[in-house]
Amino acid sequence: MLEDKTGKLWFGTSGGVCYYDGKKFTVFQNNDGKAINNVWSIIEDKKGNIWFGGNGLWRYSGSTVTNITRQFIGNVYEDSKGNIWTTGEVKPNGSWTLSRLDQKSLYNKNPTVTEIMSQPLMLCGILEANDGSIWVGSMHGVYRYDGKTIMDFKSKKTQK
């Protein structure tokens, strides 16, 4: 769920997205009039765009819906620099990735996506710490990415 800057309440469900404007519920659809299904995560970025993660990554500008990827996205997060971070499952092998969409190219037709890490188990929540490092939880443990290396706190290994 999300309350956007205008006060609308957004809800993501397995059947799609809807919002409540204080008076009524409206079923949200993409530009083709179809639902965005299986939504796990909703955020509003600093520019007021609404991002949906689920059966793909979608951005709603207030007038246009853009599909960024069809890959399953479990979590969406915006860091203090305006980068968008996602966790998602990559088919056909089923591994999960932590990826960063660079803020400088977010609104291009094909934004720059950097895969930070991949593992066989689900990657869950994403959070930026005060020092700018990115933390991600998984079914296996907790990881910290400092911009160069990934620290796996369960195995105490550092990856580059």
Other CB atoms within 10 Å distance of the CB of residue 154: 10
Task: Categorize the per-residue pLDDT at 157 as very low, low, confident or very high, splitting at 50, 70 and 90.
Answer: low
* Averaged confidence pLDDT in the chain: 92
- CATH number for the segment(s) 2-159: 2.130.10.10
pLDDT of residue 137: 94
Share of the chain above pLDDT 70, in %: 96
pLDDT at 155: 67
- Residue 99's contacts (CB-CB under 8 Å, 6 or more residues apart) are 85, 86, 87, 88, 113, 114, 115, 116
Would you list the domain boundaries of the chain?
2-159
